[in-house]
Amino acid sequence: MSEIQLAGRVAVVTGAGQGMGRAIAQRLASGGAKVAALDLNFEQAQESVAGCVDPSVCMAYACNVSDSSAVNETFAAVEATLGPVSILVNNAGIGRAPGDGSDQMYELMGKRNEEIANGEEPKTHVDHIAFMEDEGWRGVMGVNLDGAFYCTRAAVRSMVNADIKGSIISISSTAAQSGEGAVHYVTSKAAIVGLTRALARELGSRGIRINAVAPGPTNTPIMNGIPEQWIKDMEAAIPLGRMAEPNEIADAVSWLASDASSMCTGSVLVANGGSYFF
């Protein structure tokens, strides 16, 4: 991919401490952006910054994106140190939370798969929602959706105040289209698409572009909570025959962040190896 030019821009990346977030932060930095790497784990955010092409113009921040006050305080600190925000990447996301019934879901899924493998008519039902408590639902929605809203609001305020025609990219998922996955995760990622489309219309007159990237299965730490057989089944269903690597998603994000995508807004860029067609 040709080099993306982002010199002079300030980019905020959430969930930047590992996986796709780390790859995205470092990719934007390689294009010349000053990067604010936000993560709940400050030490991991620091490690991401240390891997940037020029760590002296990148900063790590501890931030819980599900806390609107923490988000506002962090964005104020970013502006004071690096300047007004030009680019936001809403990458922070989780696939499970305490009280969400994931353990029961995976146990039932294993039983159902075993029945199918034995040639039996499956009698086990995987009713994830029946085991999901309010705490578990809110835990995932708080990070994946509320966090994206809080950070987008803060970034838009920064862009408007500085008259910046910025770019905001949120990480959705192929699950938003296929419906495959845990109900709270799928719902949050589908909502990201709605948020993207609504804000693209709302902010177009200001020249602020709002897009999303929908990865398929990607080799990140979030995959650690998924049973190995499920991962194998997912990979087998991907036409390209493998999961994506974080740097491949980072390339898609950096293109949307740059002027190379100047006519793109309200779009969902699919990077899933053909596993599902939008």
Q: What angle do CA 143, 141, 93 make, to 5 degrees?
A: 40
Q: Output the 3-class SS for the chain.
A: CCCCCCCCCEEEEECCCCHHHHHHHHHHHHCCCEEEEEECCHHHHHHHHHCCCCHHHCEEEECCCCCHHHHHHHHHHHHHHCCCCCEEEECCCCCCCCCCCHHHHHHHHHHHHHHHHCCCCCCCCCCHHHHCCHHHHHHHHHHHHHHHHHHHHHHHHHHHHHCCCCEEEEECCCHHHHCCCCHHHHHHHHHHHHHHHHHHHHHHHHCCEEEEEEECCECCHHHHHCCHHHHHHHHHCCCCCCCECHHHHHHHHHHHHCHHHCCCCCCEEEECCCCCCC
At 270 the three-state DSSP class reads strand
Q: Is 61 a catalytic residue?
A: no
12 closest CA partner among 93, 98, 66, 71: 71
Active-site residue, from 61, 106, 150, 185: 185
DSSP 123: -
- For the annotated catalytic residues, the residue numbers are 185
